[in-house]
């Protein structure tokens, strides 16, 4: 099956570029006749996933892939892994350092927002392998 993909490298703590990968993904979505609410959900997921990579990871890759029936956003990082997954999913829980929160990021809404916007969310994390987030939004 043919798919269309955008892949974007995210550097740790590089706030000047935070959001660029997700805007590339959004640009790609504009090439399709996708329902506005779906487009917005993917925009939220990819932005939050990208910001998570910037704040919490040692760097990683953000990817958006369009299938005929769905859009899949993947964020894979090089660690350090999420200590307590169920805690991280709770709204308002954040491990972002104070400097980051002062910038207005890291309010602990990232994962809950992603979860709310995705139809399906897979999250795997370990100290050795890092974290891989796969969020799926169906097109109909």
Distance between start and end Cα atoms, the chain = 18
Check residue 2 for interaction with other proteins (CB under 8 A). Answer: yes
Structure-block tokens of residue 97:
């350092």
The structure tokens listed for 128 are: 């050795």
Pick the closer one to other proteins by CB: 16 or 86.
16
Distance between CA atoms of 18 and 140, rounded to whole angstroms? 30
The token duo for 17 is: 């570029």
124 near other proteins (CB under 8 A) = no
Interface region with other proteins, contact rule CB under 8 A, candidates 64-72, 73-81, 93-101, 125-133: 64-72
Minimum CB distance to other proteins, residue 26 (Å): 8
The CB-of-66 to other proteins minimum distance in angstroms stands at 6
- Please say whether the dihedral angle defined by the alpha carbons of residues 101, 102, 103 and 107, taken in this order, is positive or negative: positive
| Residues within the interface to other proteins (CB under 8 A) | 2-4, 22-23, 27-28, 30-33, 36-37, 39-40, 43-44, 47-48, 66-69, 113, 139
């Amino acid at each position: 099956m043919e798919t269309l993909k955008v892949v974007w490298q995210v550097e740790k703590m590089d706030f000047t570029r935070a959001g660029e990968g997700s805007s590339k993904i959004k640009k790609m979505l504009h090439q399709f006749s996708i329902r506005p609410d779906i487009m917005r959900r993917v925009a939220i997921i990819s932005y939050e996933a990208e910001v998570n990579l910037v704040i919490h990871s040692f760097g990683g890759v953000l990817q958006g892939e369009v299938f005929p029936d769905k859009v899949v956003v993947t964020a894979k990082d090089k660690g350090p892994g999420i200590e307590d997954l169920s805690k991280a999913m709770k709204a308002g829980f954040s491990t972002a350092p104070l400097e980051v929160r002062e910038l207005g990021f890291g309010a602990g809404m990232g994962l809950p927002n992603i979860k709310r916007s995705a139809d399906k969310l897979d999250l795997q994390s370990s100290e050795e392998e890092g974290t891989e987030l796969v969020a799926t939004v169906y097109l109909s």
